[in-house]
């Protein structure tokens, strides 16, 4: 893993299916936001989901991205 602090991304099968089904414009917007999570897993606009430990959401246009950032071994599950 790079020493620059980037996190590895693991995208679940169901999330991959949802991404593939997006229109190209929205796919690009959502993927850009997801890739930014690898640099900063807790951006200013993230909100922790109530009732879930370590699960956050960020909004990208009409879409919400739900994720769980695991620091050891530096993974983000989508």
Is the pLDDT at 77 greater than 80, yes or no? no
Is the pLDDT at 5 greater than 80, yes or no? no
The domain that holds 63 is classified in CATH as 3.30.2310.20
Which pLDDT value is given to residue 6? 72
Between 13 and 3, the more confident residue is 13
Is the pLDDT at 4 greater than 60, yes or no? no
Number of domains in the chain: 1
Give this prediction's pTM. 0.78
CB environment 51-75: b (16+ within 10 A), e (fewer):
eeeeebebebeeeebebbbeeeeee
SS3 65: strand
Domain that residue 63 falls in: 8-77
In a domain, 40, yes or no: yes
């Amino acid at each position: 893993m790079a020493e620059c602090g980037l996190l590895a991304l693991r995208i679940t099968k169901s999330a991959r299916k949802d991404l593939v089904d997006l229109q190209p414009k929205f796919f690009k917007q959502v993927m850009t936001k997801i890739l930014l999570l690898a640099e900063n897993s807790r951006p200013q606009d993230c909100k922790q989901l109530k009732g879930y430990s370590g699960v956050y959401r960020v909004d990208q246009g009409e879409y919400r991205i739900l994720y769980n950032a695991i620091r050891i071994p530096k993974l983000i599950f989508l």
